[in-house]
Amino acid sequence: MSLQTTCYNILASYKDAPSHRTASKLFDVALVAIIVLNVVTMMLSTVPDISSEWAAELHIIEVVSVGLFTLEYALRIWSSGAAPTSALTSSKDAQLDTPWQKRWFYLKSPMALVDLLAILPFYLSMFFILDLRILRVFRVLRILKLGRYSRSMQTLVTVIRNESHALIAALSVLMLFTVIAATCIYYIEHTAQPEAFSSIPASLWWAVVTLTTVGYGDIVPITPGGKVFGGLITILGICFYALPAGILSSSFTAQMQLKRDRFKETVRTVLEDGKFSEHDKGHIERVRDLLDLDEEEAQLIVRLLQHHHSTSQKPNADKKSHT
């Protein structure tokens, strides 16, 4: 195995690593710890007392973190040339024959862009004068690097990608309804409250807050017509703003059910020969780990399928004994 392939296996999430899983797991734990430490130091740097007293230490942590993130980013680009095509894309039409094609494909991936944004502002600040607030915002984005190691986050991204058309349609309806609500409340309340509802764009804040049923109370209708309209908008907001949540929750549930079905199919395949060896147990455990299923739930599925398999075998055995 080449050094490039070994580096790729270690940098990959230990659940996906074809080999060197122990080293990959240690690397994952270390990198997650660095990310968490980096985000914590960024938060502490906004506290005046801490930032003034520990400025040098916080800066050292920032420099070391950026150095490690830069090294990680460079190694991921280099080692992606040894990645199997199936690990980069599920598309059968993708032509990734050469290492440079694989590297270019990786560079365009969302996680590679997150890795780049995690370090780019630091280097740009060396040559350009950047607002400190902008740098802090980009430092917060480093927490997105944890998405590489979170199956739940990956499932959520899959759900959003699969339901993108439905979500765009629902959000379009919400935006249209919000503009209509802001326009109506402007004409109803503008005469009574010219400062609060000075324009339709200014009324958009009230429409968003009312439709989402947050109701901060900073801007409220005072006319009878405005109160009636506000109550109607609040009720309709519960219905309309529940659409994206319903789409995401149903698709997320479907994704989890798909994982359970795949796990059940794996267990059924293992039980076909009537034996359940230690090798089979290890294989099932690895599949469970890859699908990110709860261990207790997976054990229950295995026991139920074992019971079903044993009970289905008994009638066949009785028939053979009678014959």
Query: Which tokens in the block code for residue 232?
Result: 């109607």
Which among 96, 113, 148 is the end of a domain?
148
44 lies in a domain?
Answer: yes
- Do residues 99 and 233 share a domain? no
- Do residues 131 and 192 share a domain? no
> Of 83, 117, 111, 114, whose CA–CA distance to 6 is shortest?
83
Question: Count of domains in the chain?
Answer: 3
154 lies in a domain?
Answer: no
- Do residues 91 and 43 share a domain? yes
251 lies in a domain?
Answer: no
| pLDDT number for residue 130 | 66
- Do residues 174 and 74 share a domain? no
Residue 218: CATH number of its domain: 1.10.287.70
| pLDDT number for residue 92 | 53
117 lies in a domain?
Answer: yes
- Do residues 104 and 171 share a domain? no
- Do residues 227 and 306 share a domain? no
Residue 10: CATH number of its domain: 1.20.120.350
- Do residues 108 and 227 share a domain? no
* Sites in the chain below the pLDDT cut of 70: 1, 14-18, 85-96, 130-136, 274, 313-323
Range of the domain at 191: 164-240
> Of 178, 188, 239, whose CA–CA distance to 209 is shortest?
178
| pLDDT number for residue 74 | 92
Q: Which residues of 271-285 are buried (b: 16+ CB within 10 A; e: fewer)?
A: beeeeeeeebeeebe
Per residue in 56-98, pLDDT tens? 888 898 889 889 999 999 999 998 888 776 666 655 555 667 8
| pLDDT number for residue 179 | 93
- Do residues 96 and 207 share a domain? no
- Do residues 7 and 140 share a domain? yes
pTM of the prediction? 0.64
Per residue in 233-257, pLDDT tens? 888 888 887 888 888 888 888 888 8
DSSP 148: G
Note whether 233 and 206 are within 8 A (CB): no
- DSSP conformation letters of 7-18: HHHHHS-TTT-S
Which among 205, 240, 275 is the end of a domain?
240
| pLDDT number for residue 306 | 79
Return the sign of the alpha-carbon dihedral for residues 300, 302, 304, 307: negative
- Do residues 134 and 199 share a domain? no
- Do residues 9 and 69 share a domain? yes
- Do residues 228 and 262 share a domain? no
